[in-house]
Structure 1
Amino acid sequence: MFRRFSVQRPEPKGELEHVNPFTLVVAVALSAQATDAGVNKATRALFAVADTPEKMLALGEEKVRDYIKTIGLYRNKAKNVIALSQMLVDRFGGEVPKTREELVMLPGVGRKTANVVMSMAFGIPTMAVDTHIFRIGNRIRLAPGKTPDEVEDKLMRIIPKPYLFHAHHWLILHGRYCCKARKPECERCVIADLCRSPEKTCSVPAPLVELPPQQIGLE
């Protein structure tokens, strides 16, 4: 499975625009209940004037709101951006920490955001389970789970180590552009023959059972 993803997208990239770890933290925090495209549109101008915690604090909450007002929940998100910037200055010397335990201390930063930052900013293999990965993990029976944490735990245990670093991007992009929520495009899916989903449209679906990794074809 992941060998096929690696051939399809040898170097998958996240779609949130950023220039350093700080702007990545902000962008991912802003992306909750918003599209990457919408966040990018708002943050291009913001990051041009405030690409460090110090500059963000100098800008102030009201002006941050003006930059991101096209994003859902922008008032609360602007408050969090200022609060996390303040914590970075006061507690971490203006630098974004590298550990999950420290990252989730930041206002507006949860486990998913921390995992994205650890992977994209610091090259640490993680599994950031967003709505796409949660859906795919359950839909194709790769890593069934009732919560994102359950899906994350299963994926981290079953994905072969050589593929782990890029795996979350492969799954996110697969969910965003092929295995879509409302109308999956099974006819062009590179893993259609391995899929165990009852929603599969390109052939008769296999029985809905959780298979061991070797039978799913993770390699």
Structure 2
Amino acid sequence: MKPEHVEEFFKRLQAQRPNPTTELLYHSPFELLIAVILSAQMTDVGVNKATAKLFAVANTPESILALGVEGLKEYISNVNFYTAKANNIIKTCQILIDLHGSQVPDDRKALEALAGVGRKTANVVLNTAFGHPTMAVDTHIFRVSNRTGLAPAKTVEGVEKKLLEVVPEPYLTNAHHWILLHGRYTCKARVPLCAQCIVADLCQWPDKYEFGAAEGMAHLKSLTLKT
């Protein structure tokens, strides 16, 4: 995708969602961290169902640690791999208490040293809780970046690196959310909604016309003519 098209790509996504954010429900950096750990191979809806029950009774490292692994599992049993995640969360709570004064660190190295926290989770926390211009590349972002030609690469790390190179600075902080939400609701995996896509004309995907891109592009043109 050409630089001028990348600029327009994010200009439109910004107009569509001026204040994008995660759909995980949280009220503190710690709650966000726990929610993101639980979100691996889970929908946000499923995680929110679990954390609504959990955070009502325990939403600090000390209170979750007091539950223990077995107690925590009772609240997150609807989450995939809940036993492994419960073990990681308990370990993470202990580390936060012992090394960080019960606070979530605003530092990549410290975050990735927590149990159950990899680069993607660290990127989400750094971006959403602390406003860092990071790119947490999940399946949606990987798909959209490759399909549209925005930042094509064969690996998650490659997509992350390219996005940080091509996304214009004014859009960096929110770019992760815009791309993710576009992938979740429009540029879907099996049946993308190209007829409704606000960036269909900028997209480089050769198969987009099979999914109604021409209709979407005509609609965009009519809107431009009206303005």
What is the aligned partner in structure 2 of residue 214 from structure 1? none
| Aligned counterpart in structure 2 of residue 6 of structure 1, from 14, 33, 40 | 14
Scaled by the length of structure 2, the TM-score of the pair is: 0.88
4+ residue segments displaced more than 2 Å: 201-204
Aligned-pair CA distance for 1:176: 0.2
Count how many residue pairs are aligned between Structure 1 and Structure 2: 204
Q: CA deviation at 1:198?
A: 2.2
* C-alpha distance in 1 between matches for 2:33 and 2:60: 11
Q: Does the 8 A contact of 2:50 with 2:75 survive in 1?
A: yes
Matched, 1:122 2:155: no
1:101 alignment partner in structure 2: 109
- Structure 1's unaligned 5+ residue stretches are 205-219
2:195 and 2:213 in contact (8 A); partners too? no
Separation in structure 1 between the aligned mates of residue 63 and residue 88 of structure 2, nearest angstrom? 15
Separation (CA, whole Å) in 2 of partners of 1:188 and 1:77: 37
Distance apart, 1:203 and its partner CA:
4.4
Structure 1 Cα separation of the partners of residues 32 and 126 of structure 2: 10
For residue 113 of structure 1, report the CA deviation from its aligned partner. Answer: 0.5
Aligned equivalents of 1:198, 1:74: Cα separation in 2: 40
Q: Percent identity?
A: 56
- What is the CA-CA distance between 1:145 and the residue it aligns to? 1.0
- 1:152-167 counterparts in 2 under 5 A? 152-167=160-175
Choose from 55, 61, 66 the match for 1:58: 66
Q: CA deviation at 1:19?
A: 1.3
Q: 1:19 aligns with which of 9, 12, 27?
A: 27
Out of 33, 36, 46, the position equivalent to 1:28 is: 36
Residue correspondence of structure 1 range 146-185 to structure 2 within 5 A: 146-185=154-193
Aligned residue number for residue 212 of structure 2: 202
For residue 49 of structure 1, the aligned residue among 53, 57, 62 is 57
- Kindly report the root-mean-square deviation, in angstroms, between the aligned alpha carbons of the 2 structures: 0.9
Distance between the aligned counterparts of 1:64 and 1:102, measured in 2? 24
> What's the TM-score once normalised by structure 1's chain length?
0.91
Return the alpha-carbon distance in structure 1 between the equivalents of residues 54 and 23 of structure 2: 17
Contact 1:19 1:51 in 2 (8 A): no
Q: Which residue of 2 aligns with 1:72?
A: 80
Structure 1 distance, partners of 2:59, 2:130, is: 18
**CA offset at residue 122 of structure 1?**
0.8
CA distance in 1, matches of 2:189, 2:47: 21
Residue identity matched to 1:155: L
